[in-house]
């Protein structure tokens, strides 16, 4: 039986999951994949800290060079965070002629094209399935889709922490702070939640997905981004009463005139019947809209040690059995912004304090109001209106005149462009 040596860099949450899965599935992997994955070294800057998973004596080391010098190690699993840390491990591993699989979206979003090029030149593979959606196999689906079909749009709920917070706000009426404390207590919110709450984690994943889907790279900083800090439980409840869920959606659409794709991350209303609204708590869901195949929606556990380990080992097995491939991750053409602001959502939810005369004022400013709810299902003294699709500039003018108005876009249909929302059910 073929034996392939594996080096693991990073023995934290994900790294320990990789060791556990390698152990638990060792026999199954041999039978099903016809290969033995043999863990040879585990590299971590901290070799003293106690961990829940034990290793054989002398397997844990802080010597990356020693791991890469081992001729038996053919695949390196990189499970460290921070673009510089991970790149600091990925690049030397590729240069040493090892295939690399990684979970670090920050490194791939920032340096993916460069690293993929190094892998190509060295004749090894770079696996990135674990960077987006953990166990949700979106990279595999995209790689297959872009060969046979044209991908016109992507839309995803790709950050588990923010989705957990939004679910708690909607269902329990929790404040952001209360929901975040609960997420921490359950062990999946970072000590510093900035990357999640401000949408940075989502834009990194969107940059990776959009690079594959549309063949156009994007600098993470150029993607319009709004996090969830301004979302209130009463907004979520008003949206639900009108037949929608508030989700932090990472969204992208191919530009029909051949320009750069339109990308954004922002709190967005998703119709309740849409699979992206059905993902609760820390789950992720991603929809890939293909010209021939239509919508493909994938959902599952988008974070956590074991789902991430699952994706890493899938990629490691592809590399070990010669099926691994280097994804095309093109860099943005110099001087062109890849993220325009010309998208027209499929309507908007506008919320304003009770007594604002919201619907009347919106119509006076030129927006068509499809649904109005003067009491927003009793959601904290707000009145709500859902408008028909309109340009961003008209919507800004109309809502800018309203004091304390809050605006949420409604998720556009990725393939066919914006469509008016289905009539919403307003609760008595
Ligand atoms: N946790 C998840 O659910 C999840 C899901 C998907 C993707 N990811 C990604 O997976 C990666 C690892 O996440 P994690 O949650 O496992 O992080 P973690 O628990 O902090 O583990 C990382 C480990 O690597 C060590 N380390 C840091 N820099 C290193 C270096 N240059 N060389 C060797 N070891 C180094 C860290 O040591 P110190 O603690 O001493 O720095 C720590 O022990 C990140 O890129 C993350 O974004 C995580």
For the stretch 274-321, pLDDT in tens is 999 999 999 999 999 999 999 999 999 988 899 999 999 999 999 999
Please say if 205 is a catalytic residue.
Answer: yes
What is the reported pTM? 0.93
The residue nearest atom 18 of ligand 1, judged by CA position, is: 12
Model confidence at 78: pLDDT above 50? yes
Model confidence at 421: pLDDT above 60? no
- Domain ranges across the chain: 2-131, 138-301, 348-409
Q: What is the pLDDT of residue 219?
A: 87
* 81, 90, 112: residue to mutate for ligand 1 pocket, most atoms within 8 A of CB: 81
Q: What is the pLDDT of residue 427?
A: 37
Q: Which CATH number fits domain 138-301: 3.30.460.20, 2.40.50.100, 3.30.360.10, 3.40.630.30?
A: 3.30.360.10
Cα(420) to centroid of ligand 1, in Å?
44
Q: What is the pLDDT of residues 134-171, one digit of tens each?
A: 999 999 999 888 888 999 999 999 999 999 999 999 99
The C-alpha atoms of residue 239 and residue 249 are separated, in whole angstroms, by: 15
Axis crossing angle, helix 13-24 with helix 305-320, rounded to the nearest 10 = 60
* 8, 9, 10: residue to mutate for ligand 1 pocket, most atoms within 8 A of CB: 10
Q: What is the pLDDT of residue 416?
A: 44
Residues 6+ apart with CB under 8 A from 58: none
Q: What is the pLDDT of residue 275?
A: 93
Q: What is the pLDDT of residues 256-267, one digit of tens each?
A: 778 888 899 999
Cα(366) to centroid of ligand 1, in Å?
51
Cα(162) to centroid of ligand 1, in Å?
20
Q: What is the pLDDT of residues 324-354, one digit of tens each?
A: 777 666 666 554 555 555 567 889 999 999 8
Model confidence at 357: pLDDT above 50? yes
Higher pLDDT, 403 or 242: 242
Residues 6+ apart with CB under 8 A from 230: 267, 406
Mean predicted confidence (pLDDT) in 88-102: 96
Determine which one of 98, 105, 205, 361 is catalytic: 205
The single-letter DSSP state of residue 338 is S
Model confidence at 175: pLDDT above 70? yes
Task: Please provide the average confidence, as pLDDT, over all residues in the chain.
Answer: 89
Q: What is the pLDDT of residue 413?
A: 65
Higher pLDDT, 417 or 347: 347
Q: What are phi and psi of 97, to 5 degrees?
A: 85, 20
Query: Helix or strand or coil: residue 14?
Result: helix
Q: Which atom of ligand 1 is least distant from the CA of 78?
A: 11
- To which CATH superfamily is domain 2-131 assigned? NAD(P)-binding Rossmann-like Domain (3.40.50.720)
User: For residues 61 and 47, is the Cβ–Cβ distance under 8 A?
Assistant: yes
* C-beta of 18 in contact with ligand 1 (< 6 A): no
* C-beta of 80 in contact with ligand 1 (< 6 A): yes
Q: Which atom of ligand 1 is least distant from the CA of 104?
A: 45
The C-alpha atoms of residue 246 and residue 272 are separated, in whole angstroms, by: 10
* C-beta of 110 in contact with ligand 1 (< 6 A): no
Mean predicted confidence (pLDDT) in 344-368: 91
pLDDT more than 90, % of the chain: 71
Q: What is the pLDDT of residue 333?
A: 57
C-alpha R_g of the chain: 23
* Helix or strand holding residue 165 (H, E): helix 160-172
Model confidence at 252: pLDDT above 70? yes
Question: In the chain, what's the furthest Cα-to-Cα distance?
Answer: 75
Axis crossing angle, helix 138-148 with helix 200-214, rounded to the nearest 10 = 30
Cα(239) to centroid of ligand 1, in Å?
37
* CA-wise closest residue to 206 among 176, 226, 232: 226
Ranked by mean pLDDT, which of 24-38, 324-338, 377-391 comes out on top?
Answer: 24-38
């Amino acid at each position: 039986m073929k034996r392939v040596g594996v080096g693991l860099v990073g023995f934290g949450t994900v790294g320990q999951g990789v060791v556990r899965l390698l152990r638990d599935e060792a026999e199954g992997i041999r039978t099903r994949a016809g290969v033995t994955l043999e863990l040879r070294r585990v590299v971590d800057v901290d070799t003293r800290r106690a961990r829940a998973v034990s290793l054989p004596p002398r397997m844990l080391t802080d010597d990356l060079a020693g791991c890469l010098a081992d001729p038996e190690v053919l695949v390196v699993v990189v499970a460290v965070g921070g673009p510089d840390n991970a790149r600091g491990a990925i690049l030397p591993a590729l240069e040493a002629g090892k295939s690399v699989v990684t979970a670090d979206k920050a490194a791939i979003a920032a340096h993916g094209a460069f690293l993929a090029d190094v892998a190509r030149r060295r004749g090894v593979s770079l696996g990135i399935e674990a960077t987006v959606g953990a166990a949700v196999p979106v990279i595999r689906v995209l790689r297959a889709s872009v060969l046979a079909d044209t991908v016109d749009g992507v839309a995803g709920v790709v950050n588990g922490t923010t989705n957990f917070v939004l679910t708690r706000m909607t269902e329990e009426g929790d404040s952001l702070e209360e929901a975040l404390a609960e997420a921490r207590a359950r062990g999946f919110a970072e000590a510093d939640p900035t990357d999640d709450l401000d949408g940075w984690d989502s834009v990194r994943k969107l940059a990776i997905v959009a690079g594959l889907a549309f063949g156009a790279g994007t600098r993470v900083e150029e993607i319009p981004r709004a996090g969830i800090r301004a979302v209130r439980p009463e907004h979520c409840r008003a949206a639900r009463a009108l037949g929608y869920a508030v989700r932090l959606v990472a969204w992208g659409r191919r530009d029909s005139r051949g320009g750069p794709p339109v990308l954004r991350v922002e709190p967005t209303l998703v119709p309740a019947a849409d699979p992206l609204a059905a993902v609760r708590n820390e789950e992720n869901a991603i929809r890939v809209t293909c010209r021939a195949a239509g919508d493909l929606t994938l959902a599952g556990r988008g974070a956590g040690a074991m789902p991430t380990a699952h994706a890493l080992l899938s990629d490691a097995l592809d590399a070990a059995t010669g099926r691994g491939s280097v994804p095309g991750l093109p860099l943005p053409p110099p001087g062109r912004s890849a993220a325009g602001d010309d998208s027209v959502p499929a309507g908007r939810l506008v919320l304003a304090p009770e007594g604002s005369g919201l619907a009347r004022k919106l119509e006076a400013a030129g927006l068509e109001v499809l649904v109005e709810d003067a009491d927003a299902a009793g959601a904290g003294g707000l009145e709500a209106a859902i408008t028909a699709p309109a340009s961003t500039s008209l919507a800004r003018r109309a809502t800018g005149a309203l004091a304390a108005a809050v605006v949420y876009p409604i998720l556009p249909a990725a393939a066919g462009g914006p469509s008016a929302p289905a009539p919403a059910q307003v609760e008595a």
